[in-house]
Amino acid sequence: MSLRINSNVSALNTHRNMTATSNLQAKNLEKLSSGLNITRGVDGPARLQISEQLRAQTAG
């Protein structure tokens, strides 16, 4: 008795692409809903630091 494994390469590629698209869509929706360009430190660590410094200066 032999064991045969089948895979659908097109379906696997489609699933991978759909997952990546879904993740990107969620990230963009988070940015849109917050109204901020930088929502997390990973979006731009240098820009986040500059933004926080400016915010501290304007707060006094």
- pLDDT attached to residue 26: 93
Residue 42 scores a pLDDT above 80: no
Parse the chain into domains and list their residue ranges: 9-59
Tokens of 35: 């109204």
Nearest to 47 by CA among 58, 57, 36: 36
Asked if residues 44 and 38 have their Cβ atoms less than 8 Å apart, the reply is: yes
Angle subtended at Cα 14 by Cα 16 and Cα 8, rounded to the nearest 5 degrees: 105
Residue type (1 letter), 49: Q
- Tens of pLDDT along 4-31? 888 899 999 999 999 999 999 998 888 8
Residue 39 scores a pLDDT above 80: no
The overall average pLDDT reported for the chain is: 86
Residue 60 scores a pLDDT above 80: no
